[in-house]
Structure 1
Amino acid sequence: MERGIITLNIGRPNLHRWNGMTVNSAIRKKRVEEVMLTMEGFIGDGVANREFHGGPDRAVCLYPYEHYEQWEKEFNKPLESPAFGENICVKNMLEKDVYIGDTFSLGKAIVQVTQGRIPCATISKHNDMDQLLRRVVETGFTGYFFRVIEEGNVDINSSFEIIERKQEKFSVLTGNQLMFHDRKNRQAIEEFIQFEELAEVWKNKFAKLLNK
């Protein structure tokens, strides 16, 4: 199954004017043909809100290409990648088919899935779709993050090649379900946070839920 890149995108935070408010965000990324991927992310890329983005566990953000068609139909409005501020838009890597801990080669780099994305209102503001954030959370079609295991160059012709799958119980979509909709499922959460590959910030969030 081909997991080829549709767009490869980087960008630094900038000030944006939305609904009369000035917001600092890196959502407006630009397409590139080739870029170096380091442990902290792509060279030339950056984040504004480090609570939800950035750091070694969230070095790369991916959004599945297939979701674009759904949102365009639902909101009757064209969307063009990187509408979700993703570094990579790719086919055949839906949240339901990718598992926490999955390790892939990507160009000369090696990356590992760490967590689903926790989206914020910026995606609604950026795309002028008031209900987009709500629908992304409801569906779990959030996209997800990778840590970088091995640094290397990535170009537009690179594709994701699976190296290792450590488990097949907790997909990104299953993790999103726990995070957004099933927070009282203590048994599943307790099992989920045992995975070494899960991002530390998610382990901490779920641990706080268990301690309430």
Structure 2
Amino acid sequence: MLAGKIESVRIGTPKPLPYRGKMIQSAIFKEAVQDSIYVSSTNLEGDVQADTKHHGGPDKAVCAYAAENYSFFTEKIGQAFPNGSFGENLTTIGLREDVIMIGDIFSIGECTLQVSQPREPCYKIAARHKLVQLPVWIKQTGYTGYYFRVLKEGILQAGDSAILKERGAGGITVAEANAIMYSSDVTSEQISRLLIEEALSASWRKQLTKKLASHA
């Protein structure tokens, strides 16, 4: 049975961040929480999103990222990427994108969480690290992280085990979902297979439906 661990839990609030000669608002700088924290159906207590269109809400309540991925970027780019560098809420151990499936349901602390979609790295990651190409590199590697929806609210904390309770029905890993979304030579059959997964978020369903239509 697949199981991982929560290495750290992080929350943040919007703060000014310079990007291309102007100031934007971002909550990508998140601080580690030492105590237990309540997770609601839309976010972690005290975690505030600057862009509620693309972050937070029922389908993207909790952002997770595998701690193991950071060493790749540290070695590739030559600068340190400590845990929390990509603004995730949960830094995980043992739960990388190539083993986690869309629709997987995990028990973490008192919470029940379900994988809803890969995380889509945006320009705010580039702004934080002053690397314009970083979001592209993240997509190319498939080391994107992923979002959970909350099926059962409750308390969790760093050190909790993440225990798989049920596998996603479609059998599609987060890494495979990234390849389907971003590859130019993906087939209609591959897109359709991902769209069949009921746990897939509304925003990814909308994007993939458009992509499928372009293959017609």
Shorter-normalised TM-score: what interval? over 0.9
Alignment identity in percent?
31
Cα drift, residue 128 of structure 1? 2.3
Change (3 A) 1:185 1:37: same
Instruction: Give 2:213's aligned residue.
Output: 211
Q: Which amino acid aligns with 1:28?
A: F
Instruction: Give 1:5's aligned residue.
Output: 6
Equivalent positions of 1:108-187 (< 5 A) are 108-167=110-169, 169-182=171-184, 184-187=186-189
Could you say what secondary structure the match of 2:16 adopts? strand
Cα drift, residue 51 of structure 1? 3.5
Change (3 A) 1:184 1:2: closer
Change (3 A) 1:166 1:138: closer
Q: Which amino acid aligns with 2:188?
A: R
Change (3 A) 1:87 1:173: same
How many residues align? The count is 212
Instruction: Give 2:27's aligned residue.
Output: 26
Contact 1:75–1:129 (CA under 8 A) maintained in structure 2? no
Distance 1:50 1:92 in 2: 29
Show structure 2 runs of 5+ residues with no match: none
Cα drift, residue 48 of structure 1? 1.7
Contact 2:13–2:27 (CA under 8 A) maintained in structure 1? yes
Coordinate RMSD, CA, aligned: 1.5
Could you say what secondary structure the match of 2:8 adopts? strand
Q: Which amino acid aligns with 1:120?
A: C
Cα drift, residue 184 of structure 1? 4.3
Structure 1-normalised TM-score?
Answer: 0.94
Cα drift, residue 157 of structure 1? 2.0
Distance 1:185 1:48 in 2: 35
Question: Which shows bigger deviation, 45-54 or 154-163?
Answer: 45-54
